[in-house]
Structure 1
Amino acid sequence: MESATAVTALAALAHDRRLAVFRTLVVAGADGLAAGHIAQALAVPPSSLSHHLGLLEQAGLVQVRRAGRSLIYAADFAAMRALIDFLTEDCCRGLAPPAESACQPGACQ
């Protein structure tokens, strides 16, 4: 991942409402959620939600597809993993930590 891509993704997540939307989509899994469901679940006005979803989509963290008249949003798990890998890339002197563990101080000794 390029630094500019990581900065864009992190900037998109650096807002409490967008972070809540993204976390909701992560919990929803690959099937995603309709925009109306997200708005209702988070008590976000549709126009505000549209703005936040647009920024998350532009940052490459969210994918959208049409299902009939609904727009279904889903977290892009590959992009999320790439961002996590970018952030932890050098934490263990160049050795990537196992996927199931966080990079803890002393973990790679």
Structure 2
Amino acid sequence: MDTQMAVKMFAALAHENRLAVFRMLVKAGPQGKSAGEIGAELGIVPSTLSFHLSALEGAGLVQSMRAGRYMCYGVRPQAIGSLLDFLTDDCCGGHPERCGLPMDRVTKASA
């Protein structure tokens, strides 16, 4: 991942509502949630939610899927992994195990 893409992802997450939506979708797993469910659970009106979902999708953090009449949104796990790898790539002078990272992150960062 290049720095510009990382900045774009961070910018998308740098808002209270977008961060809440993103965290909700991480918890929801691969099936995601419909826009209606997201809005109802977080108390975000449809027009505002659409704006936030668009920003998250534009940054490559979430993807939309049509499910009948509804639009559903889910996280893009590969984007999350890439962002974490970007953050920890040079952790602790190239020794991420010293930083207390989970072992799966250490093996990814050193591969």
Decide which structure has greater helix share.
2
**1:33 corresponds to 2:30:** no
- The separation in 2 between residues aligned to 1:62 and 1:24, in whole angstroms, is 11
The TM-score normalised by the length of structure 2 is 0.86
1:106 is matched with which residue?
A: none
1:14 is matched with which residue?
A: 14
1:56 is matched with which residue?
A: 56
Q: Which runs of 4+ in 1 moved over 3 A?
A: 95-99
- The separation in 2 between residues aligned to 1:2 and 1:95, in whole angstroms, is 21
Structure 2 CA distance for partners of 1:59 and 1:82, relative to 1, 3 Å: same
- The separation in 1 between residues aligned to 2:8 and 2:24, in whole angstroms, is 20
- The separation in 2 between residues aligned to 1:39 and 1:72, in whole angstroms, is 12
SS at match of 1:82: helix
Q: CA RMSD in A?
A: 1.7
SS at match of 1:74: strand
- The separation in 1 between residues aligned to 2:66 and 2:7, in whole angstroms, is 28
SS at match of 1:8: helix
Identity over aligned pairs, percent: 50
- The separation in 1 between residues aligned to 2:95 and 2:77, in whole angstroms, is 22
SS at match of 1:93: helix
For these two proteins, the number of residue pairs brought into alignment is: 102
- The separation in 2 between residues aligned to 1:16 and 1:49, in whole angstroms, is 12
The TM-score normalised by the length of structure 1 is 0.87
